[in-house]
Structure 1
Amino acid sequence: MSAHSLEEQDHLNVQKEDVISPHPASKKRIRPPGLGIAFTVLSCLFAAFGSVVVKLIHDVGGTMLSVSRFGVQILLLLPFVTYRRNNVDVLGPCGLRRTLWMRGIFGSSAILTLYLSIKRMDVGDAVTISYTSTIMVPIFARIGLNETLTILEVILGFVSLSGVVLIARPTFIFPSNTYDSVDGLGLLYGVVGAVCQAITMVLIRKLGKTDAVINILYFSVLGCATSFVIMAVSEEIVYPCYEDLLYFFSLGVIGIVGQYAMILGLRFERAATVGVARSMQVIFAYLLQILILKDIPSTLSLVGSGIIFLCCVVLGISKVLKDRKNNEK
């Protein structure tokens, strides 16, 4: 064999080795520490803005607001779905369609009950009550996803629950002649929403890398249909004023951005961790309540929200340190 032929053969062997056996480090993608929590905090910020917008619309009920939000989301998503129809199955992955339906039903129910709760309570209190889901997410994640339940998550979940008690101020703990208790029906809506929210977060985590647009589309379509039926039965159809139309449209935009950020957060992080981290929405809700609505919360509400905020910070720091340790390995 000639020298020229040997050189060509060696060159081909080198190329073959490069293709078949690349260095493992070149394939490894290092994720920034706490990326899932960062997306979660972003979703909390937009969700808090949405809660304040609901409070700013005075003459329209929570069910009508839900229909409007989901309707705007569908209109905004249709161009993306149409553009990508050749690359994405609009019905979703075959084996996950039932999960998508459940995600849509429970997710939209969480939004509907939250809006109904906000109409009867202060924004900060309503948002905080709904985040009793913090204590429920690890339990549902353990059942549905077989995720491990750490001692830290259990402790922080119960401590967060104590913060919720301070905000709810039940009369069997706080005398009614000394402390103002919250609206009972508003509290019930908040708790039901918390259960739906916890199940939704586990379902989103189970959907994994399902296309986010399809995920939100299911959520919007099922939410719009469910809310419309409830609105028609309860005869709560109220036509908004022209000056409120901007608020209605902003609910849809805020909803899409918030949902997309939450999906990314659950894609990069465990459901139980995201469940506690989403308590940041409580802090954002109170800040916006003070700055925009000029409504000062009670001392007990501030103490309760402070406890929840502290739990979120502790969990976030522990997660960042754990991610950095894993990346160094």
Structure 2
Amino acid sequence: MMAATRASYTALTPELTTTFPPSGHITFTPAPEPEQMTPWDSKNTLKNRFLTKWRSSTGRARDLVENNAGLLLVAASQFFFSLMNVAVKALNNLDEPVPTLELVFVRMSITYICSIIYMYLWKVPNPLTGPPGVRLLLASRGFFGFFGLFGIYYSLSYLSLSDATVLTFLAPLFTGVAGAIFLKENFSRKELIAGLCSFAGVVLIARPQIMFGSHPMPGLSEDEFEGIDGVGVVPAEKGTPAQRLVAVGIALLGVLGATGAYTSLRAIGRRAHAMHSLTSFSQWCVIVSTVGMIVKHQAVVIPKRADWIAMLIMIGAFGFIAQALLTMGLQRETAGRGTMAVYIQIIFALALERIFFHIVPSALSITGTVIIMSSALYIAVTKERANPKQPTQISLEYPGESALEEGLLEHHDESLPLEAPKQEKEEEERLEHGVLVLALDERSRR
């Protein structure tokens, strides 16, 4: 019975018409042949590649400029300072040189007038006194700025031009330290190293007599060397050793004055217009230079030729532009990093002296120029972004009731109505009830 009801087994074998691929082989379906590119398509492809690379390059260049706007403004100010020095040198090469205090008076008078006119034309508020919140800082900028100017001019009366220049360029290093101490700004180790390297480059260019001998610019006669002086004094040292020691001390006082001026500018930031700073600085310089000429009974040299008047106007105009760019640059940059660009003035001075006074730089000057440029470029390209784009981090940790309450108070929108106390109480009761239910359920499972 069991055998009769059992169904017979029939083996299923493939028909001969059924084909299988050989074992261990893969079949490929041929892809369609690509369409032939026309010359027009090839040109479009090259054009798109070029545009892509161009946009990428311009984007990187734009980011570099925006990231170093303050540094570039300070560097541009040094170019106009160098142009101003060319006019000063030309005036001092005249038969009747213009005294230093008179040059300061003319330059700062033009700066003061231009600053006031600009603020009245553009309706800048508080043109004479500045904004109420930064008037003390503006006064300190003018006060320290005067001592910076006074220190360098007094030291040039007894020190050589190269020695005074080296002392002046201590200001950027001191400014970086002052910004880190008083303004809590970042002054990294790489900025310190770059500043020291730039200072070494300045030493190679200026070649102070104490390090390189009595003739700091080989290849020039004494008359030619005296002709390139930019402030109306003989560059060789004079006076007694005690007087030169006092001159060094006052030069260091001038360095501290410049440090205070730069730090004050950075502390002011963008709370005041750049012209407010120029007005305060020029006011102090005009007043003090006037008092100095009266006390010294210094005769005023009146220009008698058109080129005199032109150069005096150039001194005032270039000085005004340079001070404006310097102020705007230091408002946008940290004190230590922004003043690093001050070293670039040496490079502009070498180039302009070659053009106008036919002075060929020596090998040491070229070496110092390369060091300064390399340090400035290193500082520019290695700057970290102020607000780098970072991925948003999500925390799942319970912050606690106090932190939650602080966050709600901080981000509360005043436009939304507050919940009624009754609704808050009901919400708390529902929350407590839910916690109680969960606790009972956990106990029942155990």
78-87 or 223-232: which moved more? Answer: 78-87
Match of 2:297 in 1: 235
Match of 1:165 in 2: 203
Match of 1:32 in 2: 66
Secondary structure of the residue aligned to 2:103 is: helix
2:175 maps to 1:132: no
Once the two structures are superposed, residues 154-196 of structure 1 have per-residue CA deviations (whole angstroms, 9 ceiling, x without a partner) of 1112222222333444455434489879634798476554432
Match of 1:295 in 2: 359
* Preserved CA contact (<8 Å) 1:63 1:115: no
Q: Return the alpha-carbon distance in structure 2 between the equivalents of residues 301 and 229 of structure 1.
A: 39
1:46 to 76, 80, 91: 80
For 1:112-191, list aligned pairs within 5 A: 112-114=150-152, 129-176=167-214, 183-184=236-237, 188=248
Structure of greater Rg: 2
Q: Return the alpha-carbon distance in structure 2 between the equivalents of residues 154 and 160 of structure 1.
A: 10
Q: Return the alpha-carbon distance in structure 2 between the equivalents of residues 246 and 328 of structure 1.
A: 54
* Preserved CA contact (<8 Å) 1:280 1:309: yes
Match of 1:203 in 2: 264
* Preserved CA contact (<8 Å) 1:212 1:263: yes
Match of 2:286 in 1: 224
- In the alignment, structure 2 segments of 5+ residues that lack a partner are 1-62, 219-224, 226-234, 239-243, 392-446
Once the two structures are superposed, residues 292-323 of structure 1 have per-residue CA deviations (whole angstroms, 9 ceiling, x without a partner) of 1223344434433432232112111212xx33
Residues 89 and 55 of structure 1: CA distance in aligned 2, closer, same or farther (over 3 Å): closer
Match of 1:97 in 2: 135
CA RMSD, 1 decimal:
3.3
- The structure where helix makes up a greater share of residues is 1
* Preserved CA contact (<8 Å) 2:137 2:268: yes
2:374 to 307, 310, 316: 310
210-219 or 172-181: which moved more? Answer: 172-181
Deviation, 1:99, is 1.4
* Preserved CA contact (<8 Å) 1:127 1:285: no
1:108 to 136, 146, 154: 146
* Preserved CA contact (<8 Å) 2:120 2:127: no
Deviation, 1:77, is 2.6
Equivalent AA in structure 2 for residue 32 of structure 1? E
Match of 2:433 in 1: none
* Preserved CA contact (<8 Å) 1:107 1:219: yes
Q: Return the alpha-carbon distance in structure 2 between the equivalents of residues 120 and 259 of structure 1.
A: 27
Secondary structure of the residue aligned to 2:388 is: helix
Deviation, 1:270, is 0.7
1:277 to 327, 341, 345: 341
Secondary structure of the residue aligned to 1:242 is: coil
Deviation, 1:327, is 6.4
Secondary structure of the residue aligned to 1:323 is: coil
| Higher relative contact order structure (alpha carbons within 8 Å, sequence separation ≥ 6) | 1
Q: Return the alpha-carbon distance in structure 2 between the equivalents of residues 252 and 242 of structure 1.
A: 18
Equivalent AA in structure 2 for residue 316 of structure 1? A
Equivalent AA in structure 2 for residue 149 of structure 1? F
Superposition TM-score, scaled by structure 1 size: 0.77
Once the two structures are superposed, residues 233-263 of structure 1 have per-residue CA deviations (whole angstroms, 9 ceiling, x without a partner) of 2333331323312111111211221111112
Equivalent AA in structure 2 for residue 166 of structure 1? L
Match of 2:313 in 1: 249
Q: Return the alpha-carbon distance in structure 1 between the equivalents of residues 331 and 130 of structure 2.
A: 17
Q: Return the alpha-carbon distance in structure 1 between the equivalents of residues 291 and 337 of structure 2.
A: 35
Residues 286 and 236 of structure 1: CA distance in aligned 2, closer, same or farther (over 3 Å): farther
83-92 or 144-153: which moved more? Answer: 83-92
Superposition TM-score, scaled by structure 2 size: 0.59
Residues 158 and 317 of structure 1: CA distance in aligned 2, closer, same or farther (over 3 Å): same
Equivalent AA in structure 2 for residue 56 of structure 1? A
Residues 282 and 192 of structure 1: CA distance in aligned 2, closer, same or farther (over 3 Å): farther
Residues 251 and 125 of structure 1: CA distance in aligned 2, closer, same or farther (over 3 Å): farther
Deviation, 1:55, is 1.1
Deviation, 1:74, is 2.0
Equivalent AA in structure 1 for residue 269 of structure 2? G
- In the alignment, structure 1 segments of 5+ residues that lack a partner are 1-29
Match of 1:64 in 2: 102
